[in-house]
Homo-oligomer: A and B are copies of this chain.
Amino acid sequence: MTATAATKPKRIRRSPAEARALILKAAQTRLKAVGPEGLQIKEIAAIAGVTHSTILHHFGSAEDLRVALAENMVEKLLDDILRVMDAGETVFPEDHSVLFRVFEVLTDDGNARLLAWTMLRGADLRAGEDTLMALFDKIHAGVVQAIKAAAGDMVVKDEVAERQARFIIYLVATTAVGDGIAGPYLARLIGLDETEATKDFRDWFAARLF
């Protein structure tokens, strides 16, 4: 509004990496605001302050942008979980922070919805699979350790613990995804209030994981 600000804003030329990051962030904002059905490139472009053809230039297609966003999210999520696991001395099962973090990111931030949306559209989500599997391996190792810790004096065979760890991870992941999508609806039907459907349920769930 100032006189000096009246200088017409010229074109901003970003590096590809910067542009992609900017657009992904705008998409993330849009996702949280209106859900995955609002994820159309014109809207995202408006938030990012670019035109929709710029997005197409960097991502190839609208679908590819959504896939990139989902992959980006999964990777950040796993990374985040690993950091929480590494941070706490007592991870499982006394400490519920890891589990809460999973729910927080997937449910509360709308990422489960994005993930579901992307998958329902038949996207492959294969890119970066090696990275993700490596991250999962680390998480798996942490859970195995937690299982043995929870067993106390009892000796747990490696194979048994590893298998159980995979099941636990699968359970947590599917539950968080389902919670993120159908949680509010189910809670209403079943008769759980806000607190019960989130904090109470998550505590109850965490307590009986091991």
Question: Measuring CB to CB, which residues of chain A are less than 8 angstroms from any residue of chain B?
Answer: 35-37, 112-113, 115-117, 119-122, 125, 129, 132-133, 136, 140, 164, 166-167, 169-171, 173-179, 181-183, 185-192, 196-197, 200-201, 204-205, 208
How many copies are assembled? 2
Are A171 and B205 interface neighbours, CB within 8 A?
yes
Are A181 and B140 interface neighbours, CB within 8 A?
no
Are B177 and A182 interface neighbours, CB within 8 A?
yes
The 5 closest A-B pairs by CB, nearest first: A178-B178, A174-B178, A177-B178, A174-B179, A177-B182
User: Complex formed: what's the CA distance from A145 to B2 in Å?
Assistant: 72
Which of B120, B169, B187 is the one whose CB lies under 8 Å from A35? B120
Contacts A37-B120, A175-B178, A190-B140 given: A170-B197 contact, CB under 8 Å?
yes
A189 contact set on B, CB distance < 8 A: 129, 132-133, 136
User: Complex formed: what's the CA distance from A91 to B106 in Å?
Assistant: 33
A35 contact set on B, CB distance < 8 A: 120, 122
User: Complex formed: what's the CA distance from A179 to B182 in Å?
Assistant: 12
Contacts A122-B35, A182-B177, A185-B125 given: A204-B167 contact, CB under 8 Å?
yes
> 5 more A-B contacts (CB under 8 A) besides A112-B178, A166-B190?
A35-B120, A170-B186, A170-B201, A171-B201, A178-B179
